[in-house]
Structures are given as C-alpha cells and as structure tokens.
Structure 1
Amino acid sequence: MTSVLSSFFSRDPKAGFAYELPSQNEDFIQINGIKLAKSFRKSEPEVLATVLWTSTDLAELRAQAQKLKTMRHPNIIAFQDSIEIENTFYLITERCIPLSHYFRTRGVIGDQKEFFVSWGLFQVMNCLKFLHEANLSHENIREGVYVTEGGDWKLSCLNKIVPFQNAQNDLNQLGMVLWEIFNGFNAGVSKAQAPGKIPKRLVELYKKIVAPSASRLSASELIREQRMTGGYFKNKFVDTLLFLEEFQLKESSEKQTFFMHLRENLDIFPDDIAKYKILPKLIMTYEYGDAGPNILIPLFKLGRLLDEDEYQKRIVPCLVKLFHSSDRTTRVKLLERIDEFSAHLTPAVVNDKIFSNLITGFLDTSPAVRESTVKAMVPLAEKLNFHNLNVELMKYLAKLQGGDEHGGIRTNTTICLGKIGSLLDPAKRQQILLSAFTRGMKDPFPPARLAALLALSATQQFYSIGEIANRILPSLSPLCCDPEQQVREQAFKAIKGFLSTLERISENPELATEHEAQVRAGGKSLLSSDKVPQWASWALKSISGKFYKGPTSPESAVAGEKKEEDERSPSRASERSVNSVTPSKFNKPVPASTTDADGWGDLDDDDNWADADDHKEAEMNAAENDEEDDWSSGWETSKPDPLPTPTPTPASVPAVKKSLRNPNPVKKLSATKVPVDKVSDMFADTSITPTPNSDWNQDTSTNDWENDGWGSDDWGQAPSTKPAKTLSLKPNRDKHK
C-alpha cells in the first residue's frame, strides 16, 4: 500500500514498477555492456527474477526483450517484464545467470560436472531443434547460454536471430562452448581448438559439431544419436530429469520403480538442481499424484538442502498430510525416519495437526506399526503439551507395556518411558515410572525385565528415599534369582546402587533435602543430568542407546532366511543373541491371515522375527495357562510375590562357579553368556541370551498398575479394546511333577 501511494503522489516510474530494480550499490554481473542482478516481484517476494539493464546500448536490449516476449519455449529464457526509465532500459526475466559465471562460482567437478554438461547440451540442442525447424538460426550461442536456478540451460540473446540456412554456425559455436567448459572460458579464442581436457567419451561429439561438415548435421539427428544406448545423453542424470518432466504421463508401476531408484542416484545432482528442480516436482507429485511411500526417502534427503523457512513452507505441509495416511507402509516408513525431520516440527504442529493421527498407531493390529509408533514418541515427547504428554500418551504406553502380546513391543515401551521420563511432570513422574518399571521387572520376556532394570537405574534421581526403601528394593530382590544371568547381574548392581544412596543419606541427613529437590525438579533430557552417580552411569548409557530389536511378527521369514548366514558369521552371532533369541512360549502367535491379508508381510523391515518352530511351542504353552492369570489383563488386585523356599544342597554335589543353583523347580537359573556387539542396540553392555530350558513361571497378579496409580482417574482407560490375550504366567505345577 505504501508503494502504491508513493507512486501516485511522486509519479516515480520505479515505484510503480512490479519488480524491484537494482540500486547503485548492488552487486551485479556485466557482460558486453549489459548488467545483471537479482530481483523479485514486489507483491510476491518469493517470485524471484533477474534484471538486465543498460544505459549505452538500449537498442540491443530492446531487441532481446521483444524476441523473448514473442518466442516461448521451455529452453528459452522466460520474459517477465520490461521498462525504460531515464535512458536506462530494464529487462526482467526468470532467475538465471550466464553459463560462464555459473562454472566460475559453483563447485561442479568430476562425474557430477560431466552429468551436468550432458543435461545442458541436450537442452541447448533441443532448443536449436525448435529454432531450426522454425527456420531460424540463433547465431549467438556462445554468449547466449544461461543457467536457471533449477540448473536448466536456456538460450537468450535472441536479438541476432537470422533466417535458417544450415546448422553449421550454431553447432560450431556450441562446440566452442563445450571446449570452454572444460578448458576455461576465454573470449580471445575465436575458432575451434584441440579437445584438450574434454572427456574422451565427449571428444567424438565435439569433433563432429566443430567440423565444417556440421552443415550437413541437424540438431534432431544429434539428439536421437546421443540418446541411444552408449550415447552421451543416455545416462541416469538425463533419464531422471526427463522422467520428472513427463511424470504425469507415466504408469503407476513406472513411477514406483522410478522413486525406488531415485534415492540411490540423488548424489549425482548438483544442489541447485536437487533443490529447485527435483524437490518441487516430488512435492507436487505427492500432493496430486500416486507416488506412494517410496517418495519419502528422497523427499527427506532433499529437504536437508532447505533453510528453516523453506522447510516450514514446503516440507512440513507434506509431513502433516503423510501423518493422515491410512497406508501402513507409508506410516511405518515415515515413523522410522522421524529423527530426520522431528527437529523441524514445531510444538503447535505436533499437538494440533499430528498427535491425534499419530496415537492411532498404538491401537493398530500390525505389530510393526505399534512398535514404530512407540519409538517415534522419543523425539516428539519434548514437543507435546502437558495433557498430551502426561495423560494421553501415558494411557497408551500403559496399555502396551502391560497388555501387548509381543515382548519386543513391551520392552521398547519400557525403554521409551526411560528415555522420556525426565520430561514428565514432576508431580506425576515418580508414580508413573515406578508403576511401569516395577511391572516391567515381572514381565515374562527377559529383555523386558532387563530394560525395566536399566530404565529404573537410569532414572534413579527421580525417586524419593521412601520409595527406594519401600518399593524399589523389594521389587529388585526377586530378580536376584532370575533365570537369566544378565538380569541377575544388573539386579545386583541396581540394589547396591540404591542401597548406597540410602546409606549416604543416612550418614549425612542434610543430603536428603538435596535429593528430594532433585526428585521434584523438571528436566529436558536424561543425558543432560549431571547428578547421575557413577553406579547408574552404565544404565544411563544403555537406556540412551538404541531400541530393542527383536521378534515382533511371527509371520516374517527374515529370521529364517538369515539363520545360516548368522551362524557362519561370528561377527553377527553376538548381535543376534539379543535381537533374535526369545523364549518362544511367551509370544503368542498371530494367525497368518492377519498379515497376509493386508500385504504387511511384504514390508521391508530390519527387525528379525520369530521362527516357525517357536510358534508351535507358544501355542502349546498358551493352552496350558488359565485365563484369569492372563498377562494381558494386568489390572487385577496386587498380591505379594511368593518367595521360593530354599532347600539345602547335599554336600556330595560339587559347587558350580558360574551358575546359581535353586532347588525350587519353578525357576532354573542360567549362567550362559554370549558376547554382544556394543553398538548393536540399547543392550550394548548387557546382552541377554535366554537359555532354552529356563522358565519364568511367576504369578503376575502382582503386576497391577492400578494399585500403583496408573488406573486412577487421572489416567483413565486407554481408548482401545482389550488386546488379544497372550500367555498366562500362572505357575505350571504339572510340568514339574
């Protein structure tokens, strides 16, 4: 409005012009008396342009403007506007720079340079084909090649166009441009030179277009010849860009194949082409086409080239739309890569546009969707508002940790709580974490018990001394005779650590005030805490690592396919010991039709899945358990856990150094230890290898979260149906008779 009023009263032509004109102090490029600078449309600053102006040779620039205005082609610079003010003529075009300036200022080298040149030559020849078929000859190719912001080569300087006789002059000048690209731009060179640094596979084409016999050639013939197999224009760079230009004409199967290969070829493109040509096409394709989940990887990869404002305008709207997708494959692929874009999501976007769709994944019938949703909450938790974090999210995590039929999901839910525990409201945090972790320590799945131990120790600063003495230590004691040695070892470490805390405060009561203040304090991250004692550092390191990778879907054949390879490879055997070995009798199999019907079994996922033999054993064990003690219930009245009665060991029986002996037949302790790759997952320091014969026949009626506060009015019931029943943990007394 200000510019309009100013124009009305001052009658200044510049003020009324639609585009910003350069000032005297602005940087510009000068070529043959014509200056170039950046410009933009005043009413729409995001519409970029280039302004060319001269005060000496107005007739030449006027002629260029007239030709550009009347001649339209994808490879001719687009005319935007023009104006003459005070003996200076201004020409406004799309954003572009001369080819010589592009190569002087951009770091395009090696194979990327060759690919870029092949695309540029193809575009220039395509424009010459258009001109020659219209009986026009450009006659100024050497000075007329410009590069747009999206990396397209286009022709300008149309003021010297003459009627077409033959292609020799245009092709000879194109050969000179080709020579200068690889040997340096030199205005003093007026005729064809030896190839010099021109790549060998381009020399033949160079010699052909600079020879006198070029008069018998045509641009259309050269394009057809070079686009054949083995030609200079037949490569993945040119093929990719041509496919994008013709994308709407392609079949759906062709599009899917294209995007699968695109993510492998993105590195060959210069940043300007990737950012301004490929990325906009991907966004438009997703919004109006049927690109599917294969578009996600290239979309996120190219999104890294954008600054924050551009990312918010161009990528975030696509992400919001993706979270509304009902396609399971798209949702899993999106959640798996949430770390790549979560930093760009504002709290308002997460809470108002994403969270309501995201939490539906907790109720999905597909284990992969549920597990991916749990993992995705870690980077998003700090952006959630009070209600979504402390009420809504906790409802779903409580239901999954206590009732999901897959041990891996229960394990990762516990890990998730350990990672986001510091973000919870201090008034609710102790109640939530203690209820979750004490219940997790009674889980029949060994990695779940280990995860609960690690999470409890890593969050030790959030528990009052009263809770440590009355709830934590009694909950840790049964794990000292756990069937798995790794669980026993970590239980002893945790008990010693918590006891040392009580002992230190007992010796110096003044520390109690400091400890309680820390319990009530808020925090941004576990890793930022400087109050973690040395005994808990091992747990903090483990819980801050990766999530547990284990069998989630019995129908996947990944584990079976990789079994032989893992057995032959010692380096992978240790990693498999945690991620693949699971007491099968605690995993109730899902009917095959559940995954086959929706095609979920085709999803490419890195997780290993249970073997078919484990399914049969799980079914047999499931039949032996009583319904009333089903793990999925998890909300019955808490009862004290019965302790096994020790029986004296006969003196004649030799002692075993690395294995605990428990005469109670209900639990068998294992001393088997398998080395674990320290970077494989969050159990880097504490691998767990359940022994095939170990039993965890513990009554889970003590696992009630309701008594711990999770079933109170503040929590409510998770808005879902009761999960499918898993296995009962009622002691199988007949088995040991």
Structure 2
Amino acid sequence: MEFFKSAASLISKANFLFPYDLDQKVPLASESVWTLHNGKIKQTGQTCSIFSIPIAARPELTRLAEQSADQLKGIRHPCIIKILGTHKDSTTLYIATEVVQPLSNQLSSLNNYQKICGLWRMASALSFLEEQNCIHGNVQLSSIYLSETFEWVLGDFFLTSSNPDTFKKNFQALNPFTSLASSIVRDLVLHRDFSQVDRIEFTYLVYQVFNPTYTKAVDFSQRENIPANLHNSLKKLISPEPKQQIGISEFLRLGERPGGFFRSNFIVMVDMINKLQIQNPGDCQKLFELLKTYLSFLSSNYVQKRILPVIFLALKSDTSTDASEILFSIASVTNDNKDFEKDFGIPLLSCLKTTNNRVRCLLVNELYKHNDILPPTLTSDDAFLLYCNFVKFNDSKLKFSAILLYSAIAPKISKKALNNDLLRTLALLQNDPQPSIRINSIICLGKISEYLDQHVRIRVLVAALSKSLRDPIADARKAALDVMLATAGYFSTKELATKFLPCVVPLLIDDNESLRISSEEVTQKFLNRIKDFNKGEEDKPIEVSSNSFLNIFFRPSSTPRPKESSANRSIGSSNVQGSNNDEETKGKLANNILAHERSDAAAFDVETEDQLDEEWMQEWDDNEEELSNEVENWGL
C-alpha cells in the first residue's frame, strides 16, 4: 500500500514540475524529426507550440536541438521562430515556441502574393544569419512554419553554426536528413564550400514553393512557375561562375530595390504595416489605397492580428472615411475568428471614448451599417451607455448617426438599456433645438417600439406622440402622425379613442394642407376601428405597409436650407442632396409609401427657421429641470 502511495506521489510531483499543458497534436511533414503539440505555459497561461523529440531515439539531435534553442532565446528577429523555453526530462526534450503550424499544411492554399512575401521573409532571415557568418544548413519546406499571424518564420536551427568545422561535424552526424538539395549539399560540405549551402537550399525551396509536388532533380534553367524577375536573380544566387555569384544579402538587396521582385505593392503594404509606417497623412492614404486593393489576398489571421492594431492607431489621427471603412471591411472577414472580440470589439470601444467627434461620427455610421457582426462587447450595457452620451455633444451629425445606431441595435441590447437608457436618451432628443433631430427621435421611437415591454411602450408612445403633435415644425407633426398610425396596433380601441384621437383632432384645422389631409386619414382610420368595435367585431389592429416611413430618417444639413417649392417637398427629400435633378429625386421618393407633398412649413427661410427654433426653445427650454420633467412625463 505504501508503494502505491509513493508512486502516486512521484507521478503527482512530476506533473507539477512539467511546465506545459499539452493540447491537440499538430500534423507535420513525414521528413520532420519533431512531434508538435499546441499547448500553454502553466506559469503564465500563454498559448504556445511545443516541439518534442525522444532522447533515446535521437541523442545527437537532442543535444544539438537543446543547444540551438538556448542560443535562439536571445534572438528576436521577426522572421525567425521565437523560443519561449525548454524542458528536458529523462525521456524527452520539449521546446516551447510562439504559436506556429507547418507551412506545408497550408502551402497549397496560398496565393502568389503570399508566397513571394514569405520567401522575402526567408531571404531576410538568411541574410541576417549570413551577416553573422552563420550557416543554417537545413533550409527546406519542413523547417518553415506559419506564425499565429500567418507569417513565415524559419525554424529547425540544430545545424546552425558560425564555425565551419562545427557545422561539418554536425551535418555529418545528422546526415540522414532528406530534401531536394541533400545530394548537392553533401558535396558542398565534403569540399568545405560552406558559403553556398544556404544559397542552394534556398533556391530549391523557391522551386518547391511554386511547385509543391516537385520531387525530381531541379533544372535551374527552367522557370517552373517561378515569376520571371525572381528566377533571373535566383540563377545568380547559384551561378557556377564565382564572379557572377551573389550572396543571400545581395539577392535580398536586388529584390528590395524599386521595381524588384521583393518590392511589389503587396510587400510594400506588408512592410508599412510591420513598421507602423503611418506617421503622416501621405503614408496613411497610401496604406489605405493598398489595403483596398490587396485586403482580399491576405490571410484573415494576419488581417486580424497585424492590420487591425494599425488601423486603430491610424484612427487617432486620421479623419478620412477610409480608415473606418477599412476597419469594418476587416471586421466583416474576421468576425468568425478566435479572439475577434478582444482584437476588434474592445479596441473599438476604447477608440470611441477617446477620438474626436469627426472620427466618432464615422465609426458610429459604420457600426450602424455593420450592426449584424458586432461582438457582445459593442452591445453591452456599458457600450450602449457610451452611445447614449454621444447626443450630449453639440454635433447634429453625431446625434443623427447615434439615432440610426439606436434603431439598428435595439434588438441586441438588454432590457435595462432598452427600457431605461435608450428611452431617456430619446426623451432628451425630443427637446433638441434642431428640427431634424426631434423628427428622427420620434421615428426611432416608432422603430424600436416593438422591442419595448408593453406597459412601457403604451406609456412612452402616448407621452412622446402627444408632444410631437404640438411641435411648431410641420414635418415633426407629420412624423408623429405616421408613427401613431404605424404603432396603432399596440393599442386597444379604447386607448386610441381616449388618448390619441383627442391629440389628432386639432390637426384637422392645421394651417398646413398636407397635415390636414394626413390627420383626416388617421382620424378616419381610428373612427372606422371604433365603429367596428362598437358593432361587437373583433378588435383588429390597423394594418400598415411593411414599406413603412419608419425606414426614412431626416439627415441634418450642415448648411442653411434654401427655399424650396412645395412641388418638390416630401418627407424623404431631406435625404437627397440639393444638386440632384427633379427626375432623380422623384425616382427615389416613388418607393416610399408616404412620398406625397411635404408640408408648406418646410418652405420657410433661414430667419423663419431660426425664429421657430427660438419659439421651440421658449416652450421646451433645454435645461436640466425641463429634461427631468420630460423623462418624468414618459414615466421613466
């Protein structure tokens, strides 16, 4: 019994000392010497990849792998695999690295832009080693991995050495390695021509990248799907004439010069992203143009992990529409990815708190357009409270954008936010000095009313609509009538007769002809429903077309509105720019069921509108006491 207790104690202690949690196994190429697992570092919880190799089966390889891992811990080159730690027990060597997967598993899915960019990274890594007088000696497909951002990184450094004799000794000890270049490299090592080892292996790698099923000896004079400009310089890398030979560093320099094979617009874009080259507006504009062209050629992992942070950084200084549009284009292709909420939702929320109103307005517009992909962070109570605070800024465009957003995300927010924060915000907007904001607030209330609790909905609609029907702006009174008609189905016949009909009747003698006509229609429909009710018929709600006015919002203009003829005025015309011709305007309005004459009051000039706004402010003064009273009237 004591023996079993001791054994259990030893096992428990061994598990405690093992620094990694091993998860699923990752498939590797058949020629790989490793076993690869996804996992975590226990002490920090950091996700990582864990390479392992049995000591007994490969003692010499284990020694070299451990030695190279210790040396690589201090190297932080972006194109070389990052070593996080090592662990060795009696049977196995474990090496923890950044999260990676074999390139060979994804090579067939990569496009030529990505392949050339990956080879550029490998040339950069080998150039770095060459400058340190080091030989990698094992450059082949199985030694290259994809990082978490889908960037190529060079691994398998167990042959690497700056000492030719040491490299030769290591190579001969591990000679069973197989690759397309094996026989040539053996000859080079035999004749101590070490400078050509990495060049030959890199050349074979290029052929294999563009021809994944390549298994025969390579004829370097044949291009074999390799881009022509790359192939021409590749031949110089392995030229039999010593005077024509170039090193990896020179090869890289040729590729990176203007017009070179490593200086395509795609690589320029990647380079700008990696260097955070967005310090001035010109750089930002160039990057945005390149992203619009090449975004679809990038992997979603790279886009999420590399490009998103750059766009958020650019948003702090850039006020063009490009940054916000690209941001949400990225969100559309990465919203199903792991960590999307952490990489997109949380930074966006932070950005909305700190940026200026111009950027804030652009982002809110995009939130409205892409409300179907928003992560929970952006519809939480805290986020919605932030959106509600936007209406406190003296910016009519931001207020308009916020109202659009409220109408779109109402189904996604909590009942608390909907029945409390949103309704309070709309109550404040009903007192706004700008007519278009007041109109839009009542339209928004109509759109979200289906999501409100019944007892809240009735109380709020009665208070809000009765107030809007007394608005000095005819368009606001018209919008209130339309909302009343669209939401009449939520009310009993008794409620319509006692709470709404008395508010509508005064509009039957309104100065505005269009309003008189609309109020007659509403009154008649209410009376018909009352008659049917009195006959003992079932209390049926009034049917409203699905193509409702509730899809139309008034866009606030930043310039004074000129006088317009009554023939061209309609409820949706504020969405049409003044420069549009009459035929285009009529075409856009023909699809709206309420595209009839706009109220005569819309013809007032700037002075009249200012005067009406002053009258409005006298009646509904925008101060804390009046706003509190309004919220109280809504029963909130």
Taking structure 1 as the reference length, what is the TM-score of the superposition? Answer: 0.66
| Residues 88 and 390 of structure 1: CA distance in aligned 2, closer, same or farther (over 3 Å) | closer
The secondary structure found in structure 1 opposite 2:153 is strand
Q: Which residue of 2 aligns with 1:268?
A: 297
Please give the residue correspondences for 1:119-198 in structure 2 after superposition, counting only pairs within 5 Å: 119-143=117-141, 144-161=143-160, 163=163, 168-189=196-217, 192=220, 194-198=222-226
| Residues 230 and 489 of structure 1: CA distance in aligned 2, closer, same or farther (over 3 Å) | farther
Is the Cα contact below 8 Å between 1:36 and 1:50 reproduced in 2? yes
Q: 2 CA distance for matches of 1:348 and 1:114?
A: 37
Superposed CA offset, 1:587-637 (max 9, x none): 9xxxxxxxxxxxxxxxxxxxxxxxxxx8xx3215656x796xx1334459x
Superposed CA offset, 1:544-565 (max 9, x none): 5353335355399xx999655x
Post-superposition shift, 1:70?
0.6
Q: Which residue of 1 aligns with 2:39?
A: 39
Superposed CA offset, 1:432-483 (max 9, x none): 2133234434545454344323321221122232232234345445666778
Task: Please give the root-mean-square deviation of Cα atoms over the aligned residues, in Å.
Answer: 4.3
Q: Which residue of 1 aligns with 2:442?
A: 414
Q: Which residue of 2 aligns with 1:68?
A: 69
Is the Cα contact below 8 Å between 1:131 and 1:137 reproduced in 2? yes
Q: 1 CA distance for matches of 2:469 and 2:221?
A: 79
Question: AA paired with 1:120?
Answer: G
Q: Which residue of 2 aligns with 1:632?
A: 617
Mean Cα displacement is larger for which, 94-103 or 26-35?
26-35
Q: Which residue of 1 aligns with 2:349?
A: 320
| Residues 290 and 132 of structure 1: CA distance in aligned 2, closer, same or farther (over 3 Å) | same
Q: 2 CA distance for matches of 1:171 and 1:626?
A: 78
Question: AA paired with 1:56?
Answer: A
| Residues 192 and 115 of structure 1: CA distance in aligned 2, closer, same or farther (over 3 Å) | same
The secondary structure found in structure 2 opposite 1:151 is coil
The secondary structure found in structure 2 opposite 1:499 is helix
| Residues 373 and 301 of structure 1: CA distance in aligned 2, closer, same or farther (over 3 Å) | same
Post-superposition shift, 1:492?
5.4
Post-superposition shift, 1:356?
4.4
Is the Cα contact below 8 Å between 1:146 and 1:153 reproduced in 2? yes
Higher relative contact order (CA 8 A, sep 6+): 1
Superposed CA offset, 1:200-227 (max 9, x none): 4544344444543587212332223222
Q: 2 CA distance for matches of 1:634 and 1:572?
A: 35
Q: Which residue of 2 aligns with 1:603?
A: none
Q: Which residue of 1 aligns with 2:174?
A: none
Please give the residue correspondences for 1:326-475 in structure 2 after superposition, counting only pairs within 5 Å: 327-339=356-368, 340=370, 344=374, 346=376, 350-351=380-381, 353-382=382-411, 389-390=418-419, 392-401=421-430, 403-443=431-471, 445=473, 447-475=475-503
Post-superposition shift, 1:328?
0.7
Q: 1 CA distance for matches of 2:504 and 2:459?
A: 17
| Residues 495 and 552 of structure 1: CA distance in aligned 2, closer, same or farther (over 3 Å) | farther
| 2:237 matches 1:237 | no
Q: Which residue of 1 aligns with 2:97?
A: 93
Q: Which residue of 2 aligns with 1:114?
A: 112
| Residues 458 and 193 of structure 1: CA distance in aligned 2, closer, same or farther (over 3 Å) | farther
Post-superposition shift, 1:150?
1.2
Q: Which residue of 1 aligns with 2:570?
A: none
Query: How many matched pairs?
Result: 572
Is the Cα contact below 8 Å between 2:460 and 2:635 reproduced in 1? no
Please give the residue correspondences for 1:458-497 in structure 2 after superposition, counting only pairs within 5 Å: 458-477=486-505, 491=519, 493-497=521-525
Post-superposition shift, 1:360?
3.1
Q: 1 CA distance for matches of 2:480 and 2:305?
A: 48
| Residues 450 and 267 of structure 1: CA distance in aligned 2, closer, same or farther (over 3 Å) | farther
Superposed CA offset, 1:95-117 (max 9, x none): 2233222214xx33xxxx12212
| 2:526 matches 1:498 | yes
Q: 1 CA distance for matches of 2:200 and 2:513?
A: 80
Is the Cα contact below 8 Å between 2:69 and 2:95 reproduced in 1? no
Q: 1 CA distance for matches of 2:616 and 2:412?
A: 33
Post-superposition shift, 1:141?
1.4
| 2:106 matches 1:102 | yes
| Residues 553 and 377 of structure 1: CA distance in aligned 2, closer, same or farther (over 3 Å) | farther
Q: Which residue of 2 aligns with 1:49?
A: 49
Question: AA paired with 2:588?
Answer: E
Is the Cα contact below 8 Å between 1:65 and 1:79 reproduced in 2? no
Q: Which residue of 2 aligns with 1:311?
A: 340
Q: 2 CA distance for matches of 1:338 and 1:93?
A: 37
Please give the residue correspondences for 1:629-708 in structure 2 after superposition, counting only pairs within 5 Å: 630-635=615-620
Q: 2 CA distance for matches of 1:399 and 1:584?
A: 27
Post-superposition shift, 1:234?
1.7
Q: 2 CA distance for matches of 1:347 and 1:6?
A: 48
Q: Which residue of 2 aligns with 1:601?
A: none
| Residues 430 and 362 of structure 1: CA distance in aligned 2, closer, same or farther (over 3 Å) | same
Question: AA paired with 2:304?
Answer: K
| Residues 555 and 202 of structure 1: CA distance in aligned 2, closer, same or farther (over 3 Å) | farther
Q: 2 CA distance for matches of 1:114 and 1:435?
A: 63
Q: Which residue of 2 aligns with 1:19?
A: 20
Is the Cα contact below 8 Å between 2:144 and 2:155 reproduced in 1? yes
| Residues 56 and 185 of structure 1: CA distance in aligned 2, closer, same or farther (over 3 Å) | farther
Is the Cα contact below 8 Å between 1:409 and 1:552 reproduced in 2? no
Superposed CA offset, 1:650-702 (max 9, x none): xxxxxxxxxxxxxxxxxxxxxxxxxxxxxxxxxxxxxxxxxxxxxxxxxxxxx
Question: AA paired with 1:541?
Answer: N
Post-superposition shift, 1:18?
1.3
Question: AA paired with 2:78?
Answer: P
Mean Cα displacement is larger for which, 499-508 or 131-140?
499-508
Is the Cα contact below 8 Å between 1:51 and 1:90 reproduced in 2? yes
Q: 2:587 aligns with which of 574, 588, 592?
A: 574
Q: 2 CA distance for matches of 1:447 and 1:552?
A: 18
Is the Cα contact below 8 Å between 2:144 and 2:154 reproduced in 1? yes
**Structure (1/2) with the larger helix percentage:** 2
Question: AA paired with 1:322?
Answer: C
- % same residue: 20
Question: AA paired with 1:631?
Answer: W
Taking structure 2 as the reference length, what is the TM-score of the superposition? Answer: 0.76
| 2:597 matches 1:618 | no
Post-superposition shift, 1:126?
1.0
| Residues 503 and 250 of structure 1: CA distance in aligned 2, closer, same or farther (over 3 Å) | closer
Q: 2 CA distance for matches of 1:66 and 1:350?
A: 50
| Residues 56 and 9 of structure 1: CA distance in aligned 2, closer, same or farther (over 3 Å) | closer
Q: 1 CA distance for matches of 2:197 and 2:517?
A: 84
Q: 1 CA distance for matches of 2:81 and 2:12?
A: 31
